[in-house]
Each structure stands twice: as structure tokens, then as C-alpha cells.
Structure 1
Amino acid sequence: MTEIRNSVFKSTIEHHFICYLNYSIRTFKYCGKYFFENIGKMYIDEIRYTHLQSFFESRKDKGIGQNKNIRKTLSATFKHARRNEYINNDPLKDVKVKGIDNHKEKRVITINEYNRIIEALQSYNDFTHYAYALAFEIGYLQGLRLSEICALEKNDIDFENLTIDVDKKMNYKGLRKENITVTHDMKSKNSKMVLPLPVDLAHSLKLWFQINPYEKVICDDNGDYIHPESMTNSIRNICDKLGIKICFHETRHSFVSNGLANGIDPVIMMKLARHGSLDTTLGIYTHIEESRKRDAINKICNAKSVVNVSQNGKK
């Protein structure tokens, strides 16, 4: 019988090279190393629920995100094995995954912070930093993902009808600049959409197109793609100097949270963000609102005030 490590897992990877997105392939290869030396050495028809549950129990002190990705990798492997009649049942079906939530708390970029960041980027007064500023603006005002922003072309923008066509993304993670590619294989079926273009963003794009002679919206002064990681590192360094701790993806979280906070119907917000479910949209808002409430209560009832009250009560 074929071993999961030597044949089934290998053929699963090859299968996903053809049918799935590049970021999935990298996830499969990365996660495989965690079970190659245990479950990976077993014959696939001998793997049972107890083996898998025990494996995940041994990893409950690891990150929940990593453990979920490992489960996805195993799930794809068993699915492939069933299709090829190596096994009849999926031993992973009832396995529960545990782990530690290592995610940093999401936050909203305030309009004041946004303006300061844009001003700081533009103050460099060079082509590349103007491109960075526009990318940040698109993320904050339109809610696009970084990979989608970096893949935009001028013909995606319709100034007459005030729309932006989101139908491609950049594959860049783990790749050098010369190896990055643009694909129409989006994150999900909901990701492809023609969206209304904010008037303020349309104005910024028109000004940028007067400076930028190239077809790519976000590019360097030679018209080449900018590596997203290089851009986000530069933006983060500038934000650090401003005393603003953010990551680029928080522009998208801010877009969603600001929309809901300003009374936009959650279903409309879900469609604008191109989320697969309403739970995702509301989950971002709820998480951020809880953070805002904690910040507020800490400002109202800070430790110094509590100490003062306690001391006064003892007198």
C-alpha cells in the first residue's frame, strides 16, 4: 500500500499545483513537515481517528492558525486518497483541533492617523513613495487586499462610471521580485467584482495617472511591479517613526469597521468587502469594537485614578 509521505502527499501537491492557488501549495509544503516524521510514516489505510486526534492533542500548545492549516493539508491529502481509492473513509472527519490564538488584536486606523501616514509618505516627494501613498489610500478607502492593489492596471479604473474592476491578484509571498506573477485566480469566488469607486479615491487616481505614465497602477519609476513586502516594510518603518503601530492589512479592517460604524447595512458592507459570509464582516467589527471599549474603559478608569480613590477611602 502506498505511503502517505512518499506517494499520496507528493501526488496531492502535484494535483494542487494544477488546480489550486500558489499560496495553497506553499501552505501544503510548509505544513507537511510537521507530520512527515509521525503520521507521515504510516500507511494511509492504517491511519485512524485516534492517531490524528492524539497528534493534534500533542500540538495544543502551538498556534491555532498553524494547527488549522495542518488539518487542511491532511484533509486535502485524505480527499485525494479517497478519490484514488486508497481509503474508503476519512479518519480526519471528527478530529478536533486545539491551539493558542497568537493573532495580534485588530485595530482601526483613525482618520487622523491615515492623514498623517499619507502626508508622511508624500513628503518624500519621489515616484515610489507616491505609489506607496496611493496603495495605502486604496486599501483604506476601497478595502482591497494588498495583493489586489498591487495587481491593478489603469484599465481597471472607469472614471466615467466611477467603478474599479477587481479581477486579479499578485502572487508574491516567498518569491523574489523577478518571480512575482499576476493571476486571475482569486482568493475566492466572491473576490472578483466591479466595485463603486469613492469620489475621493477617483480624484487621487486621476492626479496619479498624470504623473505615472505606465499601465500598472502601483509600480516603481521604471514601470516595474513593486514587491508588496518591500512596500509594506517601508510603510511600517515610516509609521513607526510617527508612533503609529499598524500592519497594511488593517487598512482593510478599518474599511469594514468604519463602514459599519457609520451605519452602512452589514449585507452591503459584506458585498463591498467581498467576504464569503456575513459572520466574517461582523466578526471584524465586533472584535474591533470590543477593543475600542476596552481602550475607553481603561482611559476612564486608569490605574492611577483607582489608586487615588483607594487611598482616599483609607483616610
Structure 2
Amino acid sequence: MKGRVFMSIRKRKSKKAAKGYTYQVYFDYTDKYGQKKTYIKGGFLKKTDALNHETLKKSELLTSGEVYKINPITVDEVFKLYIRSAPIKKSTAQMYENKYKNYIGPLFGKYKIALIDNYLVQIKFDTITTLSYGSKDICLRLLNNIFKFAYINGFLKDPYKAKINLGKKDAKPREPVSEDIFHDYLNRIRNSKNMIFKKQYEMALWIGYYTGARIGEVFALDVHDLDFESNQIYINKTLEYDYDSNTLYISSTKTDESTNTVPMPYQLKTKLLKYLENHHFDILICTDTGQYIKPGNLSGNMAYYSKVTGNHIYFHQLRHAMATRLFENDVNPKIAQRILRHKKIETTLGIYTHLKEEIALETINDIFNEDVHKPVKNLSKIKNKELLN
């Protein structure tokens, strides 16, 4: 018989209680597997509270054949299990470990995971003031991954996903780099007296410019990935950096869809052939001894250039620029998805929709000769008046 149970309420002496005693729910039961167990829960100041708790546990036994007890496992303990077994890339795991060490762990690590709710998550996230909206979103995504893992592995009775307010999104979305800034940065590289891998960096930038490939994908390319007969480049891997061992390693692409060929325009083909005239290694973007170059070195230089000149440029902007060019040339979203190697067509359509909204806004403001980003006078007063009404 499922959940056979014998229940009772006990009165127990307590020095802390005002009346000198509390009530305890105490009963033996047989679980759904036929195993005999004992359930004890004390500290009730009123007998009615103990009786209500007894009724709740009786209901759980009738419906599931088991008494639910809050699992004492903490967020720290669940995270350690999650990060060891989660099917994620090594680079993603290292990013998660960093976010957990600096933010999630200090805020939630010692809490029993079964006791966390939206209110606690919200007040804790409100204390994070040094991160951008995007970084806070990554932290929340990690926390929800931990909750999902806990539920799947039986540490949580019910599935739970934290839904909170992360504040305002970053005011200005990342935009494609302008042609002027891109060529100015290329000239800085060519004219640099201290930069070691000038030719390699310039070639990497041109590949990103003409293909929209990600920086790790570009730095992982081999000469054999270039097909000059069919004018295609085969993207099939990415170069990652292991912060633990301070080494570079080859990993799979971001998604299965990311592994694919991309067109090689004539202009890029010409630059690649010239670059290969004095190139003697299998790795395309490599040191003078044929070793991989850390992509972060170029990213760091681009960040330094942005800081010094005020002209913001980063490698992923080249991917945004490719998406913009496809849109401006009325390329079918399905073809654009194929070129950009997006996993979902919704990602491509989202970019197209954003660009259409930008054009519509600029067009209507041009009609009235107004700056798109011009601040509206007395906007705060208008908002306050709306709230009062």
C-alpha cells in the first residue's frame, strides 16, 4: 500500500518558547518502495500549526507516496556538480566559473538551493552595480542553469526559473564599425613600429571584414581551409585560450550551423594569395615559427586603439558590418542566415528588424530635420505627470 502512515502530535519542552513548550510532528511511515521511515518536524508554537503541517505531509504521501523534505544541498555544492558534468564548451565553462567566483558564489553560494525564490534573487542582483546589463544577464542565465540542473537531478521538487528585473539595457547597441575607423586602424597597424604580427593581424581583419567570421574562427584557419577553385572558405573550428593552463587549443565552432563554408569574394581572394606568397606554414594566422597566435592579443590592441583615439572598434563589429551590408543589399534573410551561419533564422530576422527600425527612425527625423539621438526637453517632467495621472 502506497505511503502507509501513522501520525501523531507531540508536546515538547522548550526553554526558548514563551509557554515553555512547542509542538512536534512525529510519525512513522512506509514509503512507496516499502521502506520504513520516520518523519520529524518540531518548533511549532501552536498546535494548529503542527496539525496543518501534518495535514500537508499526509497530502504529499497520498499523492506521491513520499514525504517531501527540503534538500539541504547548497548552491555551491550544486554548481560544483553542474560545472563538472554540463555539456558546454571549455571556454564557456571558464567564463561561468569566473562569473560564479566573482558574483553568483558570493551572493548565493551558501544558501540552500531549495529555499531560493525570486525575491531573494532580485535583492541580491540589485547589489551588482559594476556589471553591464549583458554581463548581469549571463550571471542570471548561469544561475538558472544551476536551478535546472538541480531539478533534473532531484535536488529541487519543482522546476524553477528566476525571473527578475536586471535594470535598463545598455543604452546604445553595438553598431558595425565605420569604414573610416576600420581603415584608420589598419593604417595604425601597418605603421606601427612595435607590433610584432602586423601582416597576420591585417590578414585576420580582412577575413573578418569580408566573411563576418568570428575572431576565434579566423585565427583557427588552416591554409587547407581555403578553396581557391570554388572560392570558398571552410569554417570548421575555433581557437580558444585556456586561462587555467595558459595555453591555446582548438575547439569546435559555436554551433553545428557555424561549421560551414563561406564565400570568398574576389577582393579577399587577391589579398589571401598575396599573403600566401611568403607563407610557409599550415596555420594561416601564425607566428614566424608556425604557432597559433592568441586572438586576445589583437582584441587587446583594438581596445587600446579605441581608448586612445575614441574611435571604438572590436573584431565582432566586422560581423555586424557584414550583416548590415547583407541587409542594405536586400539579401534574402535565408541566404543571410547561411552566410552568417546563424543557428536560428530568428537571429537573422532580429538583426534585419532592428536595422529597419533604425532606418525608419532616421528617415522620419530627417523629414523634420531632427537629430535621432537629440534629447527631449522636459521629458522627466512629462513622465512624472503621466505617473500622477
User: TM-score range with shorter-chain normalisation?
Assistant: 0.7 to 0.9
Match for residue 177 of structure 2 among 102, 106, 109: 109
User: What residue number does 1:311 align with?
Assistant: none
- 2: distance between equivalents of 1:223 and 1:265? 40
Q: Aligned AA for 1:84?
A: N
User: What residue number does 1:273 align with?
Assistant: 340
Determine if the alignment matches structure 1 residue 207 to structure 2 residue 274. yes
Determine if the alignment matches structure 1 residue 26 to structure 2 residue 94. yes
User: What residue number does 2:55 align with?
Assistant: none
- 2: distance between equivalents of 1:28 and 1:233? 21
Q: 1:59/1:121 Cα in 2 relative to 1: closer, same or farther (>3 Å)?
A: closer
Partner of 1:36, secondary structure, is helix
Q: Aligned AA for 1:28?
A: Y
Q: Which sections of structure 2, spanning at least 5 residues, go unmatched?
A: 1-70, 372-389
Q: Which sections of structure 1, spanning at least 5 residues, go unmatched?
A: 303-315
Partner of 1:222, secondary structure, is coil
Determine if the alignment matches structure 1 residue 67 to structure 2 residue 146. no
Q: 1:127/1:55 Cα in 2 relative to 1: closer, same or farther (>3 Å)?
A: closer
Determine if the alignment matches structure 1 residue 147 to structure 2 residue 216. yes
Q: 1:36/1:117 Cα in 2 relative to 1: closer, same or farther (>3 Å)?
A: closer
User: How large is the Cα RMSD of the aligned pairs?
Assistant: 3.3
Q: 1:290/1:219 Cα in 2 relative to 1: closer, same or farther (>3 Å)?
A: farther
User: What residue number does 1:159 align with?
Assistant: 228
Question: Cα deviation per residue 1:28-77 (whole Å; 9 max; x = unaligned)?
Answer: 22232423344322222333344334444555995322222122212221
Partner of 2:114, secondary structure, is helix
Alignment of 1:275-294 (within 5 A): 275-287=342-354
- 2: distance between equivalents of 1:288 and 1:107? 10
Question: Cα deviation per residue 1:294-313 (whole Å; 9 max; x = unaligned)?
Answer: 78969x557xxxxxxxxxxx
How far apart are 1:113 and its partner, in Å?
4.3
Q: Aligned AA for 1:262?
A: N
Q: Give the 4+ runs in structure 1 shifted more than 4 A.
A: 56-62, 123-127, 173-176, 235-243, 285-298
User: What residue number does 1:310 align with?
Assistant: none
User: What residue number does 2:383 align with?
Assistant: none
CA contact (8 A) 1:151 1:168 kept: yes
User: What residue number does 1:35 align with?
Assistant: 104
Match for residue 259 of structure 1 among 316, 326, 333: 326
More deviation in 29-38 or 258-267?
29-38
User: What residue number does 2:79 align with?
Assistant: 9
Q: Aligned AA for 2:234?
A: D
User: What residue number does 1:90 align with?
Assistant: 159
User: What residue number does 1:234 align with?
Assistant: 301
Match for residue 194 of structure 1 among 235, 246, 261: 261
- 2: distance between equivalents of 1:291 and 1:252? 18
Determine if the alignment matches structure 1 residue 180 to structure 2 residue 263. no
- 2: distance between equivalents of 1:121 and 1:36? 41
Determine if the alignment matches structure 1 residue 130 to structure 2 residue 199. yes
- 2: distance between equivalents of 1:58 and 1:130? 45
CA contact (8 A) 2:118 2:164 kept: no
Percent identity between matched residues is: 24
How far apart are 1:129 and its partner, in Å?
0.8
Determine if the alignment matches structure 1 residue 245 to structure 2 residue 245. no
- 2: distance between equivalents of 1:143 and 1:217? 17
- 2: distance between equivalents of 1:242 and 1:37? 37
Partner of 1:170, secondary structure, is strand
Q: How many matched pairs? A: 298
CA contact (8 A) 2:302 2:313 kept: no
Q: 1:38/1:240 Cα in 2 relative to 1: closer, same or farther (>3 Å)?
A: closer
Question: Cα deviation per residue 1:201-224 (whole Å; 9 max; x = unaligned)?
Answer: 122111111122111111122222
Structure in which a larger fraction of residues adopt helix: 1
Please, what TM-score do these two structures have when normalized by structure 2? 0.66
How far apart are 1:190 and its partner, in Å?
1.8
